[in-house]
Chain A
Amino acid sequence: MSLVLRNLQRVVPLRRARLRHDVELLRRIARIEKFDLGLVCVDNRRIQRINSIYRRINMPTDVLSFPFYEASCCDNLTSLTSDLPRDELNLGDIFLGVEYILTQCQESSEDFYSNLTVITLHGICHLLGYKHGSDDKWIEMFQKEKHILSEFNRLTGSRLEPLTTRFSS
């Protein structure tokens, strides 16, 4: 199944092939290649608008996830692929606030594409039903991200850390 990438903004020059390559690797490691996934890169104006509509927070942010399935499905989703019809093999959409992410990277002198990868994985985990609202859920999500990024780092030579680290409650 496919990773649909859309770049709706002009503020940040985006290397589409690089982003796709990294996210495809994440999908393979997380064993979700059979699911369609939408990745939409937007600017501050658009992510703020979406944040305001769907979370009542009138500010830009780094990532917003819109799962196709209810949160309770969680990791069981990957084992249901044989039961689901083809047009329901859909994880959902992730909106990346690339302008917001770039600003954060510039302020903290971090690599933009490394951050994009980590933030996209965070979004993927939300699509799979992981949350970080409580300590237990935070630990569960952190472990999931850590597991996937460990394998990603092994394959690519990167040194990426989970985004959930920054959400410690």
Chain B
Amino acid sequence: MLKSLSRIVSATARISSVSSSSRVLEPLVRSRLCSPGSATIRPFTRSLWMMSKSGPGHRPGLFTTCGRVPPVSCGCGGLHTEGDKAFVEFLSDEIKEEKKIQKNTSLPKLSGGWEIELNGTEAKLSRTVGGEKVSVTFNINNSIPPTFEEEPESGQKAEENEPEIVSTPNFVVEVTKPSSKHSLVFDCHYPEDEAGRGDGEEESDIFAIREVSFQPVGESDWKETSYTLNTDSLDWALYDHMMDFLADRGVDNTFADELVELSTALEHQEYIKFLEDLSSFVKCS
């Protein structure tokens, strides 16, 4: 997970830098080379210029708001519009509804003696097993898979079919033996269900290992030069041995189910907090 995240971030940075530089360069080149009558760039910039100009016969500005701006009453200097007011009212209702359906205000506990550390959307679970340190890290961001609502059956209301929101985050298991310079790291995930028999029963393992690697102890950055084993084309017997290895250290199907409950509760908690922060930001009070 860590490695794939860093790869995504660096790829995005590369793409955005390439595209932004091309957008900057192209118009400059064209404006020198293009004739005054060229229709490529000028009509757009002229229309922008006209829209921003004030004076008689001038049409309403592109960058002025269409609605009336109520007078600022809080003295914050920020914008307060009718839209903002409606937004805040909507958020107030939304927060009430979310709190109503919130299963627990406190996070569920995991069996197996796991200690939990929270850092915003990231959670780290730790325990010691026979001298080995085992930690499981996950992030609730982007942890809710898309659900596709089915057509309601005859006689059944549509609301009864509404799927429950469940957070199934990717998680990274690190196993560190005493006096070892490297941790054995497993990148795990909750697989999408394989095709069932039409009886609604899923047939995937509850969780699966995606990648395995040795990483230096105490370093937060992923070491790209460490060999990473991908399980896509792995010998099944080796895979099963690794699953048994994890199970012996408390990362088994029971743990995976409890992690989903914890992650779902944490995600809901953070979502409500976000709505409250959003309401405060928009309301400015």
Contact = CB atoms under 8 A, between A and B. Distances in A.
Interface of A: 2-10, 13-17, 20-21, 24, 40, 46, 49-50, 53, 66
27 contacts: A2-B236, A3-B236, A4-B236, A5-B240, A6-B204, A7-B206, A8-B203, A8-B204, A8-B253, A9-B253, A10-B252, A10-B254, A10-B257, A13-B247, A13-B252, A15-B244, A16-B241, A17-B237, A17-B241, A17-B244, A20-B236, A20-B237, A24-B237, A40-B203, A49-B201, A50-B197, A50-B201
Contacts, number: 49
A137 to B, nearest CB: 26
Interface of B: 197, 199, 201-206, 236-237, 240-241, 243-244, 247, 252-254, 257
B105 to A, nearest CB: 27
Contacts of B241: 16-17
> When A and B form their complex, which 7 residue pairs have the shortest distance between CB atoms, in order from nearest?
A16-B240, A10-B253, A17-B240, A10-B254, A17-B241, A20-B240, A17-B244
Nearest to A46: B201
Contacts of A16: 240-241, 243-244
A15 B248 CA distance: 10
Contacts of A9: 253
Interface centre among B201, B254, B257 (most CB of A within 10 A): B201
A7 B205 contact: yes
Contacts of B236: 2-5, 20
A8 B190 CA distance: 12
Given A16-B244, A49-B201, A7 B237 contact: no
